[in-house]
Structure 1
Amino acid sequence: MVRDDLYITIPSFFRCPISLDIMKSPVSLSTGVTYDRSSIQRWLDNGNNTCPATMQILQTKEFVPNRTLQRLIQIWSDSVANRVESADSPATRTVPSPDQVVDSMKYLDGHGENCLDSLSRILYFAEESEENREFLAKLDGFVPSLVDLLDNVNGAVEMLERVVNALDAVLDKIEDREQLKKSMLKSHDNCLASLLLVLQQGGTGSKIGSARILRFIAVDPEAKYMIAEKEGLMSELLKSVAPVKDPALIENGLSCLIAISTPKRNKLKLVHIGAIKALSQLLSSSNSSTSVTEMVLKLLEAVSSTKEGRSEISEDPVCLPAVLQKVMKISMIATEHAVMILWTLCYLFRDQKAQEVVAMANGFTKFLILMQSNCSPTVRQMSADLLKIFRVNSKSCLSCYDTKTTHIMPF
């Protein structure tokens, strides 16, 4: 039971201006005001063309995910849960001063309740402001202490979650990524094992934090190889991008996979652990945001540069039709990635199976329309190349239909 004297104040900017509830999926309009996705979507679906808070006429009804605010809300929610569980600890009820935070540092070298309380106090401090997070990032010994905890805590998921959340809170303020990478990937992989454990057993906020930390330290091929070679790590990241997962977790999981997938052998590993099927399901989901769709297509484009990836994409019954469906439907970025995938399979490597699938999905018409659109020179050239392929094959493709309809070809 929650104690009567434990008062939790919700930061006002965590509340949706429409529903006044804590935002689950914050998105920002062109006016800069942030709302919960479901609330602003209902507002727009009802025919409104203004920003509810400012009443300004919207130049566009598109909105973008506010990932920073989503992360802060999740960290705050996790911290509140920890404070409720530790209601007898006075340190969780008031925002500590910088001096108190410095004093808390001496407990970060242990593994008991004092360490947990100190991490909760530090997280509470970090949630208050950008200035506090910058103070922590520059505090001598703070980040190394967190890395040491990741390196030495064995199996204590609650402790690891708080360490991950604390490190994630200051991640954007850390200037020396190379140094953080070196300290986390030194001689053994205990830090990677800790992040993997959080991905497997932690809450949504700490899973997001783990994915963000991995992406942050993937600064060079060596780091990317080490991350990919940690048994189970890429598989767990792939599980985090299932359509049923939290939207912020999906975005951060995809972002991390993109960052570590640039080396060829990492792309091959992605293919071998079933990435094509997982990405196809996500691409076909009606709930995927623009940014998620763009990242899925970018990742598919990356694996299509391998023979194994092209084979899996061609054989998957969902993948290529879903890729073609996204052309000109999502964004210019999504269109470019989608066309690159189709061009790689159908034109560059002349994959017969891929050509048949795209032809049956009316790819010829899609490329013809794309050529007449306001696309980039690169997309226009790839579309022209694809038209050559399907112009040659169109009659043979059409011959497979049992129909008496006269087909007038546009060439």
Structure 2
Amino acid sequence: MKSPVSLCTGITYDRSSIQQWLESGHNTCPATMQVLPSKDFIPNLTLHRLISLWIQSSTLRPGSNSPKLLPAISEVRAKLLMERIESQSCVDSLSKVFEFVSCCEENRRFFVRFDGFVEVITGILRRKCVEIEALEMTVGILDLISSENGVKERLNKLILKSNQESNFLPAIVFILQNGSLDSRVKSVRVLDSLALDSESKRRISDSQDLICILLQLLQANSSQSLNDAVTSILTTISITRSIKSRLIENGVVEMVSNSISEKSLKLLATLSSCSEGRSAISSNTKCVAGVVDKLLKASNTATEDAVVVLWSVCCLNKEEKVREAVVKGNGVTKILVIMQREGEGTVKMMCRDLVKAVRTVCKDLCLGSYETRTTHIRPC
């Protein structure tokens, strides 16, 4: 751990790890699986001091291979590094900054607060003929600092709210085509973090080259982390029917059907809001089966997305073969369990509609007289 924090359950985690868990849609404590009444966490100062003492003592032991905290960089040193980066995008200087901000949250805050730092780093992505190593290091730094307070807004203003986005997006495309797997994931994550409003999302979606590359990466299915990052950005920018239609026409439903994840459930739920999306999902039996299989196996948020998808294709499109697929995958039992645990709300309403919709194909189940407003599941 580098920055230990405790949840309301009393369990301590590393800050970056638990933030990733909560931001991915989970509302439980990973260790106890208790539903969290609050997602707030507090620093575990005692453990933090113990970790610092351990690191200090381990670095003094002969032959120790324990990780060392980097020494603080003075403002003069930081200014010199930025001047070198600004003048020639020196890979060595970028590497030193990346190593420093990778070390801990305090180091990231130091550079983020440093006057002109964010502007200098983003400027590298707008230059021409920059070596791939420098570009990869740049997106690595941006990925690390983007979670710091106010950075996303500053980056958005610098890149997508200015006249420079036409120079920025080609650099991202170049990394996606020629960079390492890790830098590709980071590039997509940085791009996703910039899409803060409808204007930014539109500017990203207007880049034909970028969308084509993202779809190619998703089709290649080379890495789950990359798939999740690409699926997330595609969900983020799918704010208009034309964008959804473009993705559907390019076979995005078939692509995500190869491996249904929580991120792809969110994208499918978004696409199911239009008739083209519902038709594409309905015609893909593997996709429907994958969605049914994910019921109750994913986080609450992802399970709700799965319910939205099934409700859209079963109740709006009224596809008989989809209803049969739901029954075949033991979807009825899962839907009843979800309906039982949900309070009054949209998800419970959709579950009721789903139970009614599949009655016609549930010949082997005793649902003929089942009352969907009951609060318990009647045994068959």
Normalised to the residue count of structure 1, the TM-score between the two structures is 0.67
Residue 135 of structure 2 corresponds to 160
Q: Take 1:345 and 1:383, find their aligned partners in 2: how far apart are those partners?
A: 13
Q: Is the 8 A contact 2:324 2:361 kept in 1?
A: no
Q: Mark the CA change 1:258 to 1:353 in structure 2 (over 3 Å): closer, same or farther.
A: same
Match of 1:99 among 76, 87, 103: 76
Q: Take 1:142 and 1:272, find their aligned partners in 2: how far apart are those partners?
A: 42
Q: Is the 8 A contact 2:175 2:183 kept in 1?
A: yes
Q: Which residue identity does 1:163 align to in structure 2?
A: T
Q: Take 1:363 and 1:178, find their aligned partners in 2: how far apart are those partners?
A: 42
Q: Is the 8 A contact 1:133 1:170 kept in 2?
A: yes
Q: Is the 8 A contact 1:154 1:194 kept in 2?
A: no
Identical amino acids, percent of aligned pairs: 31
Q: Which residue identity does 2:361 align to in structure 1?
A: S
Q: Is the 8 A contact 2:285 2:322 kept in 1?
A: no
Q: Take 1:102 and 1:383, find their aligned partners in 2: how far apart are those partners?
A: 59
Normalised to the residue count of structure 2, the TM-score between the two structures is 0.72
Residue 4 of structure 1 corresponds to none
Residue 124 of structure 1 corresponds to 99
Where does 1:128-207 land on structure 2 (aligned, <5 Å)?
A: 128-154=103-129, 156-175=131-150, 177-185=152-160, 186-187=162-163, 188-207=165-184
Residue 195 of structure 2 corresponds to 218
Q: Take 1:125 and 1:118, find their aligned partners in 2: how far apart are those partners?
A: 11
Residue 361 of structure 2 corresponds to 394
Q: Mark the CA change 1:365 to 1:209 in structure 2 (over 3 Å): closer, same or farther.
A: closer
SS of the residue 2:205 aligns to:
helix
Q: Which residue identity does 1:351 align to in structure 2?
A: E
Q: Take 2:72 and 2:219, find their aligned partners in 1: how far apart are those partners?
A: 37
Unaligned runs of 5+ in 2: 4-8, 18-30, 36-69, 369-380
Q: Which residue identity does 1:59 align to in structure 2?
A: T
Q: How far apart are residue 303 of structure 1 and its match? A: 0.5
Q: Is the 8 A contact 1:116 1:159 kept in 2?
A: yes
Residue 12 of structure 2 corresponds to 32
- RMSD value, Cα: 3.1
- Post-superposition CA distance 1:156-201 (Å, at most 9, x none): 3222112212222221225153442232133351101101111221
Q: Mark the CA change 1:307 to 1:96 in structure 2 (over 3 Å): closer, same or farther.
A: same
Q: Take 1:326 and 1:301, find their aligned partners in 2: how far apart are those partners?
A: 13
Q: Is the 8 A contact 1:153 1:160 kept in 2?
A: no
Q: Take 2:137 and 2:343, find their aligned partners in 1: how far apart are those partners?
A: 46
SS of the residue 1:151 aligns to:
coil
Q: Take 2:222 and 2:193, find their aligned partners in 1: how far apart are those partners?
A: 22
* More divergent stretch after superposition (183-192 vs 332-341): 183-192
Q: How far apart are residue 210 of structure 1 and its match? A: 1.0
Residue 52 of structure 1 corresponds to none
Q: How far apart are residue 237 of structure 1 and its match? A: 3.2
- Post-superposition CA distance 1:182-226 (Å, at most 9, x none): 321333511011011112211233222211211111011111111
Q: Is the 8 A contact 2:218 2:230 kept in 1?
A: yes
Q: Is the 8 A contact 2:145 2:151 kept in 1?
A: no
Q: Is the 8 A contact 1:243 1:282 kept in 2?
A: no
Q: Take 2:264 and 2:10, find their aligned partners in 1: how far apart are those partners?
A: 25
Q: Is the 8 A contact 1:243 1:281 kept in 2?
A: no
Q: Is the 8 A contact 1:95 1:124 kept in 2?
A: no
Q: Mark the CA change 1:190 to 1:270 in structure 2 (over 3 Å): closer, same or farther.
A: same
Q: Take 2:80 and 2:331, find their aligned partners in 1: how far apart are those partners?
A: 65
Query: How many residues get paired?
Result: 311
